[in-house]
Every structure is written in structure tokens, then in C-alpha cells.
């Protein structure tokens, strides 16, 4: 891996594809154990989670299903500032065990709102699996159940994560260089 330029910014190698996939192996093993005998529904959050969702899903040995959802974030007039909607999500999840699959949890605002929207539909349980977690940026109490890798508060791309549309195809995780440009 080498330094890559995406639009106006430079990103340097941070975590190799091998390191990331070893972490995905570990999370998949946790999930296989936790949901043994169940048939959970995995909900991948587009766009960023598609790579992690695929890598995770092919490592699952339990009976399971997967679907995807796109979220729209916009600044509303509510006190929380940002409003998130699930776009075109018509799946019946009542009584189902649900696992939300995210690319990254940063402040946690997005995932916490997604969890609220899903809980309104009365699933049996909801847990979260994320490829990356930034504990120093996280502002909520809700536990993030399955974390592949915790990282410091730096901006990263690769393995599904983008900078303004670019970089999702990078193998491994790259972080922004200190000089940025």
C-alpha cells in the first residue's frame, strides 16, 4: 500500500487488508457463537458498509439473512440537529433478531438514531456490528456490541469508506496524512 490522493487530500496506509480481515474473522466468530440456533437478519447500512457486510457475511456459519438500508441524513429543525431516515426499508422485523452492520461509528449519532427507528418496529433484539469504532469520539451510552477495530479520532478511507465518493475500493484502511494536502 502507498500514499493515495483522493480529490485534494492525501491518505497513507494505516491498517493492512490482512489486519482488517483478521479482525473480521474474530467478529464473525463472536456472532456465530452469540446467535447459535437463531436466524438473525443482518441490515447493512449503505453505502459504506457493503465491503464489511460481504466479508462478515461469508464468514457466518449460522442460518442468517441479509438486507441493506440507505439512510438519509439532513439537518432538520429538531433539537438534535440531524435527522436520519431509513430509505425504502419495508422489511418486517417484528420478533426478529436484528444485527445492524455499519462501516464506522464515530460520534454514534447515526447508529443511535437508526437503532431508535428499528426499535419502533419491535424486533426481538437489535445489536450492532461495525468495522471501525472511534471510542474517543463516541458520545452515547448505547453499547456497540461487535467491533472489528477501534481506532483513534482520525479520518480514514478504504474497504468501503470514502472521501467524497472516492477510496471505497482501497484494500486496507488509509488515514489522512498529517499535512493533509
Of 25, 85, 103, 106, the active-site residue reads: 106
Report the nearest approach of ligand 5GP to the CB of residue 156 (Å).
4
How many residues lie near ligand 5GP (CB under 6 A)?
A: 15
DSSP the chain: ---EEETTEEEEEEE-HHHHHHHHHHHHHHHHHHTTT---EEEEEETTTHHHHHHHHTT--S--EEEEEEEEEEE-SSTTSEEEEEET-----TT-EEEEEEEEESSSHHHHHHHHHHHTT--SEEEEEEEEE-TTT----S---EEEEE--S--EEBTTB-BTTB-TT-SSEEEE-TT--
Residue 80 binds ligand 5GP, judged by CB under 6 A: no
Residue 40 binds ligand 5GP, judged by CB under 6 A: no
Q: Which is nearer to ligand 5GP, 6 or 98 (CB)?
A: 6
String marking each residue 90-119 x if it binds ligand 5GP according to CB under 6 A? --------------xxxxxxxx--------
Question: By CB under 6 A, what part of segment 144-173 binds ligand 5GP?
Answer: 155-157, 161-163
Please give the residue ranges that form the binding site for ligand 5GP (CB under 6 A): 48, 104-111, 155-157, 161-163
Residue positions annotated with a catalytic role: 106
Amino acid at each position: 500500500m502507498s500514499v493515495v490522493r483522493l480529490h485534494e487530500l492525501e491518505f497513507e496506509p494505516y491498517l493492512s487488508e490482512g489486519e482488517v480481515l483478521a479482525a473480521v474473522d474474530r467478529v464473525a466468530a463472536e456472532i456465530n457463537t452469540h446467535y447459535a440456533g437463531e436466524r438473525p437478519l443482518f441490515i447493512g447500512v449503505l453505502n459504506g458498509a457493503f465491503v464489511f457486510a460481504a466479508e462478515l457475511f461469508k464468514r457466518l456459519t449460522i442460518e442468517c439473512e441479509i438486507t441493506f438500508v440507505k439512510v438519509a441524513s439532513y439537518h432538520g429543525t429538531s433539537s438534535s440537529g440531524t435527522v436520519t431516515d431509513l430509505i425504502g426499508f419495508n422489511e418486517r422485523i417484528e420478533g426478529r433478531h436484528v444485527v445492524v452492520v455499519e462501516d464506522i461509528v464515530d460520534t454514534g449519532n447515526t447508529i443511535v438514531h437508526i437503532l431508535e427507528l428499528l426499535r419502533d418496529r419491535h424486533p426481538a433484539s437489535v445489536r450492532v456490528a461495525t468495522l471501525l469504532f472511534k471510542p474517543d469520539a463516541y458520545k452515547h451510552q448505547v453499547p456497540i456490541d461487535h467491533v472489528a477495530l477501534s481506532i483513534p479520532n482520525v479520518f480514514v478511507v478504504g474497504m468501503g469508506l470514502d472521501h467524497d465518493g472516492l477510496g471505497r475500493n482501497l484494500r486496507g484502511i488509509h488515514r489522512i496524512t498529517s499535512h493533509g494536502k
